[in-house]
Structure 1
C-alpha cells in the first residue's frame, strides 16, 4: 500500500532560524470578525527558513537560481535513505559517518537522517546543529553520479559552531559546474528510517523570480508493508 506523506515542515512563527536569526512572522491584514469581507495576512520571512533548498546563486553571483531549473528537476524516483542517528551536537559529518554502499548508482535524491530533528523547537537545534564536511561533496559525486539533491534533518548544511567550514561545504556542493548537488535543509524525517521505501518524491519550492533559495513543500510516496 502506498501513502503520500510530507517530509517538510509547515511555516509558522515557531519555525527555527539558523543561529537564532530572522524567522517567519505574519500579520493580519483583513479580518472578517472585524467587519472585513475576507481574511488575509502578510508574511515576512527569510528565503532560507523552514524546509528549504539552496541553489548555486546562494554562494555565487554567477550561479544558477530557481529560474534555471525545469519542473522535472524536482521529481525523484530513486530515493535512498541513510540513517546515521543519533548525531551528536556540532558533529561534522564526513564520508566515514555515511554508509551508502547499498545506494543504487542512479540514486537522484539522498536523505540523511541524523536524528537531530527530534530536537527541533529547542535552541540546540538552531545553534548546535551537526554540519557536513566539504569532502562529502566529491565523495557523493563519485559514488552517486545521478544525485541532484541531498536532504537532511538538520537546520543547515553548515554547523553553526563551524561556520567557516560550513561555507566551504556550501561551495563544494553548489559550485561544481559539472555536477552541483543542492542541499535540502531542515527536513521532517522523524517518520522514516533506513528501512523505509520511498517510491517517488516531489520537492515543490516557493517560486520567486531569481531566488537563491526557497522554502519547499516536500512530498513522498511511501510503500507500507
Structure 2
C-alpha cells in the first residue's frame, strides 16, 4: 500500500490569502536554553495552510467543523481532473461540464489547475493572484448527489481578485439558503502536483476545534 501526503505542513513561511495575518510560531520553552522540555505557541488564522471549509464559514445556518462526523472526511470514490488555470482566472461551469461522467458518482473531486507549482517559488503570486471557482461552477457541482467535497491546488477556492465570485461560490457550495441541508466541503491549499492516477481512498482529517467555522487538515491518500 502506498500513501501520498496531499497537505502541506503549517509553518511561518506558509503563504496566506490576500490580507490574512501570517502564521507565528514562538518557542515557549527550550531544552537548549536549560528547560526540561521543548514547547511552542502556534498562532494562526484557521484558514492558513491546508484546511477544510465547513458550512458555517459562509452559511449562518451551517455546521461548524467540530459538528461534522469523522466518517464524512473519508472518501472512497475520489476523482482527479485537470483544468489548467493561471493568474486570476476563473473555473466555470463550462470548464467542468466535459468531466460530467467522471464527477458523477465521485464523493471527492480534486481539481488540479497546476497553479500549486509556484507555491514555494513565488508565494506572493500564489497568495494574491490565485485562480478560483465561479458561482456557475458551484451551482453545477451542487447537482451531483454523491459529491461531498472538492479539493483544489490553490490557496483558496475563491480567486483573490474576483471577490464577488469568491463569496458567491462559497455561499452556494456551503449550502447557504438551501432547505435540504446539502453542502459540499471545500479543501483548500492542497499539494496535487504528483501522480494521483492510482488513488482509491482519501482521508482529509481536520483538527476538531470547538466553535469555529473551519479547520486545519492533514490529507493523505491510499492506492
Q: Normalised by the size of structure 2, how large is the TM-score?
A: 0.93
Query: What are the residue-to-residue correspondences of 1:50-199 with 2, within 5 Å?
Result: 50-85=49-84, 87-98=85-96, 99-103=98-102, 105-121=104-120, 122=122, 123-142=124-143, 144-175=144-175, 176-178=178-180, 179-192=182-195, 196-199=197-200
Distance in 1 separating the partners of 2:193 and 2:141? 23
Where does structure 1 lack aligned partners over 5 or more consecutive residues?
A: none
Name segments (4+ residues, structure 1) moved above 6 Å: none
Distance in 2 separating the partners of 1:148 and 1:13? 31
Write the deviation string for residues 45-64 of structure 1: whole angstroms up to 9, x where unpaired: 00001011111111133221
> RMSD value over aligned CA atoms?
1.4
Where does structure 2 lack aligned partners over 5 or more consecutive residues?
A: none
Distance in 2 separating the partners of 1:149 and 1:177? 19
Q: Which residue of 1 aligns with 2:202?
A: 201
Equivalenced residue count is 217
Q: Secondary structure at the match of 1:8?
A: coil
Task: Call closer, same or farther: CA 1:92–1:10 in 2, change over 3 Å.
Answer: same
Q: Which residue of 2 aligns with 1:214?
A: 215
Q: Which residue of 2 aligns with 1:31?
A: 30
Verify the 8 A CA contact 1:205 1:217 in the aligned structure 2: yes
Task: Call closer, same or farther: CA 1:197–1:95 in 2, change over 3 Å.
Answer: farther
Q: Normalised by the size of structure 1, how large is the TM-score?
A: 0.92
Verify the 8 A CA contact 1:152 1:185 in the aligned structure 2: yes
Verify the 8 A CA contact 2:138 2:172 in the aligned structure 1: yes
